[in-house]
Structure 1
Amino acid sequence: MSHIKDFEIDKQICMQFEEDRERFAGAVVPPTFQNTLFTYPTLDELSEAVQFEKQHYVYGRGTNPTVEIVEKKLAALERGEECKTFASGMAAITAAIINSVQSGDHILCVSHLYYSTMELLKYLGKFNISHSVVYSTNTEEISQAIQSNTKVIVLESPTDMSYRLVDLPAVSRLAKTNGIRTIIDNTWATPLFQKPLTHGIDIVVHAASKYLGGHSDVLGGALITSKKIMKSIFDKEYLLMGAVMPPSEVTLLLRGLRTLPLRLLAHQENALKVAAFLESHPHVAKVHFPGLATHSDYLLGKKLLTGYSGLMSFELREAHYRQVEKVVNKLKAFKIGVSFGSFESLVSSPNLSNNEGQLLREHISPGTIRLAVGLEDINVLIDDLKQSLMD
C-alpha cells in the first residue's frame, strides 16, 4: 500500500509541485525564462547575489526560475535535498565523478555501465585516476574488489545490458564503512520506480533525455544529492564547466514529467508482455528483464523496485553477429537506433561485428539484442518480433 501512496504523491509532484501558478498570473504552464541575465537595482545587491549565486538569479549559467521548477520536482521525486540539471546525462555523471575524486584515487565500477561512462573513466586515467570493474552484483565480491585508494563506487541498477540488480542498501553500508562515495545511474527505473537515496546512495544521476523527457526531443541530465554535496558541485563542476540545461530544454522536460506516471505504466505493461513472449520463443536463449519471475534478481527487485520500465535485452541461441544482424534488420516496428525511454520502440545490439571477443571478456553474449519497448500497440510489437525471429 505504501508503494501505491508514494506513486500517487509522485503523480502530484510531476504535475503541480512548485509551479506556483499565482506567481505567474495563473498560467497552467510556467513561463520559459529565456533571458541569460538578471539585473539588480544597486551594485551592492548585485555584489551580494554574485557572492551567493546558488541562492540568487544572476546569470544563465547559474540559476533560472524555469530550471528551478524542474529541479525541485526531481529532488522531491527522488526524496533528495537538491537537484541540478545539466546539458546531458554525460555532463551530469561527469560532474558527479569529477567532484568525487582527485589524482591517485580509484573508482570501482559494479558490473556493466553505460558505454560512454566507461569511456569517461578511461579518459580520467590521464589524470592518474584509475578504475576497475567487478563483473558481479554480489555484495561480497564487490567488497573484495575495493582497493585501498577506492573513493567512489559507480553503478547502475539494473545494470546496463545485462539488467541485473544490485542490493543498494548492502552496497551503501559497505561503502560508508570504507569511506567511499556511491553514485548510481537511475535512468532505467526513474524516480517513480526506484529511489536510491532512501537506501543510502549518495548521488543519483539521470539522463533526462530518456523516460523523464519521454519524447525524443530533449537532451539533458540531472543530479540529485544532499545539500552539502550539491554545494560543492554547484561551485565547481556546475558553474565552472558550464554544461547547464537551457530553459528551452527544461520546458520540454517539464512537459514530459506531466505524463511520466502514465507513460511508465504503459511501458511496463508492454514490456512485461514482450519479455514473456521472448522467454517462450525457441530461438531465444535468455531474456534479461527483472520483471520476469524467472529473473535471478526478481525477489530483490520486489524489495527495491516498485515497477519496471521498458528496457530489456535477450540472447539468441545462435550467438553470433550474422544472426543478430538478420533478426535486427527484419524488425519494422522496432526502429534501429540508440537511446531509449521515449514513445517509440527501438532495437540495437552491443555486437558491432568486430568486438565479440571483448563482449565475452565482459560477460555479454555476442547474441545479445537490446529492446526499448515503446508505447505502440502490443500486438504490433509482438507480431514484429515473431516475423523477425522466424527461420
Structure 2
Amino acid sequence: MRVETRLVQIGVGRDTTTGAISFPIYHSTAYRHPALGESTGYDYTRTTNPTRAVVEEAIAMLEGGEAGFACASGMAAIQTLMGLFAQGDHLVVSLDLYGGTYRLFEQVWKRFGLSFDYVDLREPERLRAAIRPESKAILVETPTNPLMQVSDLSALAAIAAEYGLLLIVDNTFLTPYFQRPLELGADIVLHSATKYLGGHNDVLAGLIVTKGGELTERVRFLHNSLGAVLGPQESWLLLRGMKTLALRMERHQQNAFAVARFLSSHPAVSEVFYPGLPEHPGHQLQSRQASGYGGMVSFRVRSAQMVAAFLRELQLISFAESLGGVESLCTYPATQTHADIPPDIRTATGVCDRLLRLSIGIEHVDDLLADLGQALDKALQAGGDER
C-alpha cells in the first residue's frame, strides 16, 4: 500500500473485540493476568499500553524501522536516547541545532560526563576532524532548525559506519512522508511528534524509531526504565493527527513554496531559507534524498528594528513558539527557540537578531501572502538596513 493509505488505515482492524474503526483509548494502568505465568501482553501501562502500541507500530512501519517508542515529548525522546551513552562518551552534533537540544546537552548531560562538538555536517571533512576515539554517535537535523541547512544522510551514514558510530537523525521537519533516514543508512530516527505528526497544536509527544534487533532492545529497556512514555489520551490524539499527515504535508509544502517566493521578492527581506527554492544551496541534495521540502521557511529582514513592527502587525499568522500545526505560526528564534544558546555562538551560526522562522499552515495561500505583505510593508517603514 502507498503511504497515504497506510496513514489513513492506522489502527483500523486492530480492535477485534468491537471492530472499532477509531482505535480505543485504554486508560487502564494495570491489566488482569489470566493465570500464574500468563499475560495478555499487557501488564503495566508504562511498559506497554494498547493505544500507545498502535502509535509505535505505525511510526516504525512508516519509517521502515524495527520498532517505535512513543515518549512524553520530543525532548523526552532525546533524553531517552542519551541513556545509550556513558560517562566519557562524545557526540558530534549539527552546528545549527534546536536550542532545547543544545540546552539539554550543555546544561544537563555535560555535568554527567558526556561531551559534544557542534559541527557543520554539510562538510564531511569537518565531521571527520571532529571524531575522537571516544566518539559514539552523530546527531543530525536535516533540514536544520532554523536555517534549513541540508546534510547528505548517505554520506553521514557511510562515515558513521566507518568509525563505528550511531547515526541519529531528527526527522521532525520532513516526517516519514517526505524523508526516511533509515533507508539512507541511519540507525535511529527521532521526532518531536508535537509538530507535523500531531499536526493540530494540541498534543505533546516524541517518537523514536530504531533499526536492528540489538539496538532496539537497548532502547526498549531505556524507554521502560526511564518511564518518559506517552499517555493513552495523547497517543490517541497523535493517532488521529497522523491519519491526515499526507494531506497536510502536501498543503504545507504548497503554501511554503508560494510564501518563499513571495518573501524573496519583498524589499523588506534580505534572505530566504527554504530548500524547495532552486537557489537554495541544499536544493539538489534535498531533491535526491527526500520526496519533498516541507512547510518551514526562515528569512531575514533587512534590519533588527523591523522585527518588532513585523510581529506586531501580523493578523492571521500567530506569533507563537512551535511549528507543524495546521495554523501558521511565526517564531523569533533569538528570544524563543534559541534563547538558551549564548548570543555569540548563536550569531556565529547564523541565528541573528534579524532572523524569523515561519511554520506555514494550511490556510488559503492568498490570505497568508496578504498578511505577510501588509506586515512587511509596515516593518519596512520602521527603517534601517543592516545587510
- Shorter-chain TM-score tier: over 0.9
**Is contact 1:153–1:182 with CA below 8 Å preserved after alignment?**
yes
2:333 corresponds to 1:350: yes
Aligned residue for 1:223, secondary structure, equals strand
Q: CA deviation at 1:356?
A: 4.9
**CA displacement 1:131-170 (0-9 Å, x = unmatched):** 1111352122222221221111111000111101010000
**How many angstroms does 1:352 deviate by?**
2.8
Give the secondary structure class of the aligned counterpart of 2:169. Answer: strand
Question: Would you say 1:79 and 2:64 are equivalent positions?
Answer: yes
Maintained 8 Å contact 2:10/2:243 = no
Q: Deviations over 1:167-208 (max 9, x none)?
A: 000001001100111111100000000000001111000111
Matched with 1:232 is 218
1:373 corresponds to which residue?
360
CA offsets 1:347-376 (integer angstroms, 9 cap, x no match): 111223996544322233321001111111
Contact between 1:135 and 1:362, CA under 8 Å: does it hold in 2? Answer: no
Q: Kindly tell me: are residues 29 and 351 of structure 1, through their superposed partners in 2, closer, same or farther at Cα, counting changes over 3 Å?
A: same
Aligned to 1:53: none
Which residues in structure 2 correspond to 1:225-304 (within 5 Å)? Answer: 225-226=210-211, 227-235=213-221, 237-304=222-289
**Cα separation, 2, equivalents of 1:152 and 1:90:** 18
* Equivalent residue for 2:29, pick from 31, 36, 39: 36
Counterpart in 2 of 1:5? none
Q: Alignment partner of 1:152: what SS?
A: strand
2:12 maps to which residue? 19
Distance 2:126 2:111 in 1: 28
Out of 350, 357, 372, which is 1:363 matched to? 350
In the TM superposition, what are the counterparts of 1:125-274 in structure 2 within 5 Å? 125-226=110-211, 227-235=213-221, 237-274=222-259
Partner of 2:76: 91
Note if contact 1:24-1:31 (Cα within 8 Å) is conserved in structure 2.
no
CA distance in 1, matches of 2:15, 2:298: 46
- Please, what is the CA RMSD of the aligned residues? 1.7
Describe the SS at the equivalent of 2:356.
Answer: strand
Q: Is the 8 A contact 1:163 1:288 kept in 2?
A: yes
Q: Distance in 2 between matches of 1:369 and 1:12?
A: 35
2:105 is the counterpart of 1:118: no
**Do the aligned partners of 2:15 and 2:23 also contact (CA within 8 Å) in 1?**
no
Alignment of 1:320-339 (within 5 A): 320=304, 322-339=305-322
**Equivalent position amino acid for 1:41 in 2:** P
Instruction: Give the conservation status (yes or no) of the 8 Å contact 2:10–2:239.
Output: no
**Partner residue of 1:9 out of 2, 10, 25:** 2
Residue identity in the other structure for 2:93: C
CA contact (8 A) 1:343 1:376 kept: yes
Q: 1:22 to 1:203 in 2, by over 3 A?
A: closer
More helix by percentage = 1
Equivalent position SS for 2:118: strand
TM-score (norm. length: structure 1): 0.91
> C-alpha separation between the residues in 1 aligned to 2:355 and 2:148?
12
- Give the conservation status (yes or no) of the 8 Å contact 1:356–1:366: no
d(CA) in 1 for partners of 2:234 and 2:354? Answer: 37
Percent of aligned positions that are identical: 36
For the residues of structure 2 that align with 1:108 and 1:362, how far apart are their CA atoms?
16
Contact in 1 for aligned 2:158/2:185 (Cα 8 Å): yes
* Match in the other structure for 1:306: 291
Counterpart position of 1:384:
371
Instruction: Assess, with a 3 A threshold, how the Cα gap between structure 1 residues 118 and 194 changes in structure 2: closer, same or farther.
Output: same
Deviation sequence 1:251-310 (CA, Å, 0-9, x none): 111111111100111101111000000011122111111011110010001111111221
What SS is found at the alignment partner of 1:43? coil
- How far apart, in 2, do the equivalents of 1:132 and 1:69 lie? 36
- Give the distance between the partners of 2:15 and 2:307, measured in 1 at CA: 55
Q: Which residues of structure 1 form unaligned runs of 5+?
A: 1-7, 50-55
Q: Are 1:328 and 1:348, in contact at CA under 8 Å, matched by a contact in 2?
A: no
Unaligned runs of 5+ in 2: 382-387
SS of 2:83's equivalent in the other structure is: helix
